[in-house]
A and B are shown apart, each in its own frame.
Chain A
Amino acid sequence: MDYILQGLLKAFELLITGNQETYSAVFASLKASTMSMIGSLTLGVPSGFLLGYTDFPGKRQARAIVDTLLALPTVVVGLLVYAFISYRGPLGDLGLLFTIPGIALAQTILVLPIVISLTATAVESLDKRFKSTLMALGAHGKQIAVASILEARHAVLIAAVTAYGRAISEVGISMMIGGNIKWHTRTITTAMALETGKGEFSTGIALGIVLLTIAFVINSMLTRLRKRSL
C-alpha cells in the first residue's frame, strides 16, 4: 500500500511544481481531443440532424450502421487510419503520422458516430408540435434546421461532452498514430501506460488525477450550461 500512497504524494508534487514532462502530455491530450471534438461536431451535428429529421431510402440501415459504429474499437480505427496516413498510404504525403493532427483525425472518426447518433436521437425526440409551430410562424428550410438544433441544444451538448470524454480517454489511437513520442505526441493515456509499465506509479497517478479533473471540469461546465439554458 505504501508505494501507492507515495505515488499519490509524488503525483501532487509533480502537478504543483509544474513538471514539464507531465504537462507536455496533458497539453498534447487536450490539443488532440479538442481538435477531434471540433471536427466531430462540425461533421456530426449536421449529419445527425439529417439522419433524425429527414426521411430517405435506407434511413433505417444508415441508423443501424451509425449505432453499430458506437462500439468501434480504438485499435481498429488506429489501424485503418495508420494504413491511410502511413508514408506508403494514400494520404501519406500529408505527413500526419506521429503528429497531434493525425491523432485528432483518428479520434474524430472514433467519436463521429457518437455525435451523429446522439444528435439524431435528440432531433427525433423533439415534440411533434415543434415543426408545425415553426411553420405556422413562417420558418422554412434552413431556419427550421437551425431552430431544431437550438431546441435540441442540451442533447447536442451532451453529445459533445460524451465525444470529448471518449477522445481524451482513449489509448489505442494515441499509441498507434501518435507513437507516444516524448514532448511531442505523448498524451495522458499513453504516458500512463508507459509509466505504469516502468513501475513509475507517481507519474501515472498524477496523470490519472489530471484526467479525472478534466472530466470533472467538463461535467461541471455542462451542468452549469444546462442550468443556465433552463
Chain B
Amino acid sequence: MNEIPFYRITGLTYRYGGGRFLLQIPELDIYKGTSVGIVGPNGGGKTTFLKILALLEEPDEGTIFLNGKKVDQNDYGLKRSITMLLQEPYLLKRTVFENISYGLKVRKEKQGIAEKVHSAMGLVGLSPEEFSHRRWHQLSGGEAQRVALASRLILNPSVLILDEPTASVDQESAVLIKEAINAMREKYNTTLIVASHDIVWLNTVADKIYRVYGGRIAGYASDNIISGPWASDSDGLWKSVLPDGQVIHAATPPDDSGEKGLLDPSDIMISIQRPEGISAQNIIRGRLMLLSQENHSDKLLARIDIGGFSMTSRITRKAAESIHLFPGEDVFAVFKASSIRWQ
C-alpha cells in the first residue's frame, strides 16, 4: 500500500499500574477509513493502548505519527480530531442535550447546535422529544451508553475509538451502536478503533482484529495461542504438551516474550483420517465443535476442541464440502512445526 498510514506508531513503550505493567508496540500502521478491532484478556493493555491512540495518555518512549505528522501533545486541534468512548462512559451531571452538545461548545461551535444534537440522537436511536431534557440519572445503562456515543458522533471525528462499547448494554443497544458507527464510517470515512470482548459483534464492525496480550500486539484475533511451557525435544524441535497429553512441536525456540506460540488458522489443515506420509510434524486429534462463516471473506472457521484446548482452522468451503465436514466429528488438525511463530 503506497498510501501514508493515518496512524504510524514506532517503538512505543508505556509503563502503567505503578510501573508493574509494560505496553510495548514496536510498530503499527492504521490506515484512514479502516476499522480495527482489538481483543484480549482484561489487564492485557487494551484500554491503555486505546488511551494512547486517543492522545489521552503520553507514551514513555516512541513516536506516534498522525497523517504523516509527529504528534505534539499540546496540539489541541489535532487532539480534537480524535475522540474516545471510555469503557464505562461518564455522563456530565446535566441533561442529555447538554451532554451531547458539550463537545461542540468547547469547540466554540454555536451554529445549528440543536439540529446537530437531534441528528446525533437519531443516529443512536434516541428520540429527541423523549430524551433531550432527561437528566443523566434518568437513563438506563444502554441509553446512557448511546448518549455517550452520540456526544462523540456529533463531533464528526477523524478517528473514533471505542472501548468495550457493548460491555454493559442490551442486545438492541448493541445493534444500534453497530449501525451508528458503521454509518459514521461510511458517510465520513471515519477511522474506527474498537476494543471488545464480543468477538461476534466485533466481527461485524472491524476489517481486521488484533489481539493485545501481555502488553503487546500478539497477532490477529483469529490466531491460535499455544501457551508453554515449551521444552527442547529431539531433532532440535521444541515441544508443548496439551491438556490431553498430545504434543505440539515448534521448529524454533521460544523467544523471551513469554513463551506464547502463535499459529495462523490458515496454516492448519483438517483431515478426517490420520494422514500418512506427510512432512508436517504436528497431527493433533480433536473434535470439530463449530463451523462458521468468517466475516469479510469466503472462508470457513472450524473450531476444534482438543481435550479442553480450543484451536481454530481457516478452510475453504470447497475443502469442507470435499471431506464432508460436520460439527461433532473427530478430526485431525495438521500443521508444520515451522508454522508456530513467537509473538
Whether both chains belong to one complex is answered with yes
Q: Is A90's beta carbon under 8 Å from chain B?
A: no
- Measured CB to CB, the closest approach of chain B to A228, in angstroms, equals 10
Mark each residue of chain A from 128 to 163: 1 if its CB lies under 8 Å from any CB of chain B, else 0: 011011111111100100010001010000000000
| Bound-complex Cα distance A134 to B148 (A) | 12
- Contact A147 to B92, CB < 8 A, known contacts A135-B56, A138-B106, A230-B135: yes
Known: A127-B90, A133-B90, A230-B135. A138 touches B76 (CB 8 A): yes
What's the nearest-Cβ distance from chain A to residue B184, in Å?
A: 16
Of A127, A136, A140, which contacts B85 at CB under 8 A?
A136
Flag whether B54 is at the interface (Cβ < 8 A): yes
State whether B86 touches A140 (Cβ < 8 A).
Answer: no
Q: Are B88's CB and A151's CB within 8 A?
A: no
Interface residues of chain A: helix, strand, loop or mixed (majority): helix
A97-136 contacts to B (CB < 8 Å): 127, 129-130, 132-136
Distance in angstroms from A55 CB to nearest chain B CB is 16
Q: Which residues of A contact B88 (CB under 8 A)?
A: 129
B318 at the A interface (CB under 8 A): no
Decide: A138 and B79 in contact? CB cutoff 8 A: yes
Complex CA gap A129/B51 in Å reads 12
Q: Is B110 an interface residue (CB 8 A)?
A: no
Taking CB atoms, residues of chain A closer than 8 Å to B152 are 136-137
Docked pose: A151 CA to B94 CA in angstroms = 9
Closest to B83 in A: A136
The residue on A at minimum CB distance from B93 is A151
- B93 adjacent to A133 (CB under 8 Å): no
A138/B155 contact (C-beta < 8 A), A151-B93, A230-B135 known: yes
> Knowing A230-B135, A230-B137 touch, does A136 contact B92 (C-beta < 8 A)?
no
A140 — which chain B residues lie within 8 A by C-beta?
76, 79
Determine if B84 and A136 form an interchain contact, defined as CB atoms under 8 angstroms apart. Answer: yes
Interface contact B106-A133, CB-CB below 8 Å? no
Could you tell me the distance in whole angstroms from the C-beta of A47 to the nearest C-beta in chain B? 23
* B92 shortest CB reach to chain A, Å: 6
Q: Residue B80 at the A interface, CB < 8 A?
A: yes
Q: Which of B88-105 contact A (CB under 8 A)?
A: 88-90, 92-93, 102-103
Does residue B151 face the partner (Cβ distance < 8 Å to A)? yes
Residues of B contacting A143 in the complex (Cβ-Cβ under 8 angstroms): 106
CB distance from B168 to the nearest CB of A (A): 14
Report the bound CA distance from A147 to B102 in whole Å. 10
B137 to A137, Cβ gap below 8 A? no
Give A229 to B94 CA distance when docked, in angstroms.
Answer: 8
Q: In the docked arrangement, what's the CA distance between A151 and B90, Å? A: 12
- In the assembled complex, B296 has its CB within 8 A of some CB on chain A: no
Q: How far is the CB of A116 from chain B (nearest CB, A)?
A: 22
Considering the chains assembled together, what is the distance between the CA atoms of A134 and B86 in angstroms? 11
Report which residue of A127, A134, A135, A140 has the largest number of chain B beta carbons within 10 angstroms of its beta carbon. A135
Docked complex Cα distance between A136 and B153 (Å): 12
B107 at the interface (CB under 8 A from A): yes
Residue from B51, B93, B151 within 8 A of A137 (CB atoms): B151
CB interface residues, B 252-309, toward A, < 8 Å = none
Residues from chain A with Cβ under 8 Å of B84 in the complex: 136
A133 to B54, CA, bound (A): 11
Which chain A residues border B56 with CB–CB below 8 Å?
Answer: 132, 135-136
Q: Which residues of B contact A147 (CB under 8 A)?
A: 92, 102
How far is B76's CA from A137's CA once the two chains are assembled, in angstroms? 11
- A137–B86 contact, CB under 8 A? no
- Alpha-carbon gap, A138 to B137, bound state (A): 23
Contact in complex: A151, B83 (CB < 8 Å):
no
Which residues on A sit within 8 Å (CB–CB) of B54?
Answer: 136
A213-229 residues at the B interface, CB under 8 angstroms:
229
Q: Once bound together, how far apart are the Cα atoms of A140 and B151, in whole Å?
A: 17
- Can you name 26 A-B pairs with beta carbons within 8 Å? A129-B86, A129-B88, A129-B89, A129-B90, A130-B90, A132-B90, A133-B86, A133-B89, A133-B92, A134-B106, A135-B56, A135-B79, A136-B54, A136-B56, A137-B83, A137-B102, A137-B103, A137-B151, A137-B152, A138-B103, A140-B79, A147-B102, A151-B93, A153-B93, A229-B93, A230-B135
Question: B: which residues have CB within 8 A of A?
Answer: 51, 54, 56, 76, 79-80, 83-86, 88-90, 92-93, 102-103, 106-107, 135, 137, 151-152, 155
Q: Which residues of A contact B (CB under 8 A)?
A: 127, 129-130, 132-140, 143, 147, 151, 153, 229-230
| Given A133-B92, A230-B135, 7 new contacts (CB under 8 A) | A127-B90, A132-B86, A133-B86, A134-B106, A136-B152, A137-B83, A138-B106
